[in-house]
Structure 1
Amino acid sequence: MRADRLIRVLLVLQSRSTVTAAELADDLEVSIATARRDLAALSSAGVPVYPQRGRGGGWSLVGGARTNLTGLTEPEATALFALIGQIHGVPGEAATAIRKLVQALPSTFRSGAERAIGSTVRDDAPWGAVHQGPPETVAELQAAIAAESAVVISYADRGPVGLTPLGVAARGGTWYLLASRDAGEPRLYRADRIRDVRRSGRAAVRPAGFDLTKAWAAAVARVEELRGVVSARALVHAHAVAALGRAFGAQMTPMGAAADGRVRVELRAQSAEALAEQVAGWSAAAEVVEPAEVRSAIAALGARLVSTYG
């Protein structure tokens, strides 16, 4: 609808000092001729919009007037877009709307909002317990990242530690802070174990060319490496392979069909005992065939169950 588009034109004008018809056409995904007609229509309707001719010219609001339509303060705008960054599975239409909202913010607010949205990654692969939502510390960390501020956190039962926050991420419903200490390699901190967050007053300096998605993937790979020290080969009934894969995540690798129709897989965990505990509940569908260390751990677990429950 044209009325909706004219409002979008006004939002763009209020967020920038000057905009050309070509830039407006690109933002609104219309032709340059349509953008020019919309600008002229606003002017005819009494909106104080005027063109500036020549090099560096374009369309502006009279006096460079730009307003914050919502009345949001900068901290409120940052908090809002940090919350948007926590939402899982934003569909295409919503993503487009979010981009338009960011562009409608005053330029002094816009960079912080963009950093808040870009400070979060979502990863649905399973790790640990599933929580209902992000802890309160996640929003505080996102706000610090948006403000490009270093932080001091109190983590679990440890003393305060100074960090450069690089991003927050959720995996299997659990939230993590990705941060570096003394310009070292980024590490993961469980957000629900962070007791307190405060800004240190020092600027946070990110590594040149830092990419949150790549850094998160590298951190996940390091954790998976630590979690997969011990491996075992197992035979799994075909109907259970997908469910077992969801339970083990990256710690299961299918290895093809076995002669008896079952599927050969490799399972990994941080110890033989941990692997035994994870696979014991799958005994009706999965049989560990090697190594003997893991089979013995499963047998010992079974003996304890029999001893306890008869």
Structure 2
Amino acid sequence: MAVLLLLQSRGRVTAADVAAELEISVATARRDLEALSTAGIPVYPQPGRNGGWQLIGGARTDLTGLSAPEAQALFLLVGPAALIAPDAKAALRKLVRALPQTFREHAEAAAEAVVIDPARWGEHTKERPELVRRLQDAVVRRLKVRLVYAGRGRERSERLVDPLGLVDKDDIWYLIAWTPKGQRTFRVERVVSAELTDEAFERPADFDLSAAWNEIVEQMEVRRSGLTATVLMDERHLWVMQDRLGRHCEVDGMEGDRVRIKVTAPTPLMIAQHLAGWGGSIEVIDPPSVQAELARLGRELAARYSGIV
């Protein structure tokens, strides 16, 4: 992309120009230019003293389809990765230098607009686990992986999988893979070992990691939302409840000066645990099972701390 952007902004470049701008060898630059031509991009070499590589007819059209807003979006997304991945920082620097001058200022500003620091307070750095890096390598290289996996409450099992992609969900890594029993999701922290094999696999052409993960999340949320409780609370505190429960808290209307909400969880106890800290500032209308769990929790707390004034 950087080489193509250089061609678009300058019209004609030599392999030496590309090497100097992108901090690569002349041989690598020449191979990249030849690769563009082989890929069908209208780029051709012109021999001679003032020769070089240029777009056919001197075209300066945006062959990447990258507009100024799209360039900003690209750098806004990739820029935060520079803190974690030095390679990303080097790639961004090369792309910025290859952008047309009119794009550069806003692209650089977008790249520096956001910093994502994955380390918790007290930690100097946050590196991806070695197992995640190994699985990522398998995903990129399209190599089957022999997993030893310890599922929740199950004995260890060994299986040969096609790794399709990795997802980081709230600092917990998941592997989405194809198995003889179909697509499965593995929690990486439960992977005992992962051995890359020499056997390649073909990734399904229609597989979309983001879409696959969204479907998994929806299925999980359905399983986690087996019970719904109707709750009344002051509207001014609604944002706190929504912040804590996310999609498990939905507004269902108003009753007088209080808002009616629906709170979901797999069991009455889990709903009660979410709501117990609100004390008398909320009222559970139904179901009786959640009311009973709240009453039980109240009796337990009263009995434990009854002697404290």
TM-score scaled by structure 2?
Answer: 0.61
Gaps of 5+ in 1: 1-7, 13-23, 61-87, 103-121, 123-131
Selected match of 2:129 from 129, 132, 135:
135
Selected match of 1:244 from 234, 241, 244:
241
Selected match of 2:254 from 257, 260, 266:
257
| Structure 2 CA distance for partners of 1:246 and 1:191, relative to 1, 3 Å | farther
| Structure 2 CA distance for partners of 1:242 and 1:307, relative to 1, 3 Å | same
CA contact (8 A) 2:269 2:293 kept: yes
The Cα shift of 1:98 comes to 4.0
CA contact (8 A) 1:240 1:285 kept: no
Gaps of 5+ in 2: 21-25, 35-41, 48-75, 83-87, 96-115, 117-125
5 Å matches for 1:226-241?
Answer: 226-241=223-238
CA distance in 2, matches of 1:302, 1:273: 12
* Alignment deviations for residues 66-87 of structure 1 (CA, whole Å, 9 cap, x no partner): xxxxxxxxxxxxxxxxxxxxxx
* Residue 154 of structure 1 pairs with residue 148 of structure 2: yes
**Percent of aligned pairs with the same residue?**
30
The Cα shift of 1:101 comes to 6.3
Selected match of 1:57 from 30, 44, 66:
44
CA contact (8 A) 1:135 1:192 kept: no
In structure 2, what is the equivalent of residue 283 of structure 1? Answer: 279
One-letter amino acid of the counterpart of residue 144, structure 2: A
1:205 aligned counterpart, secondary structure: coil
CA contact (8 A) 2:79 2:92 kept: no
In structure 2, what is the equivalent of residue 308 of structure 1? Answer: 304
CA contact (8 A) 1:253 1:267 kept: yes
Selected match of 1:188 from 179, 185, 192:
185
The Cα shift of 1:209 comes to 0.8
5 Å matches for 1:203-242?
Answer: 203-242=200-239
CA contact (8 A) 1:135 1:191 kept: no
CA distance in 2, matches of 1:306, 1:258: 30
- Paired residues, what number? 226
Larger mean Cα displacement after TM superposition, 92-101 or 191-200: 92-101
Q: CA RMSD in A?
A: 3.9
TM-score scaled by structure 1?
Answer: 0.60
CA distance in 2, matches of 1:250, 1:231: 12
* Alignment deviations for residues 72-116 of structure 1 (CA, whole Å, 9 cap, x no partner): xxxxxxxxxxxxxxxx964489689647869xxxxxxxxxxxxxx
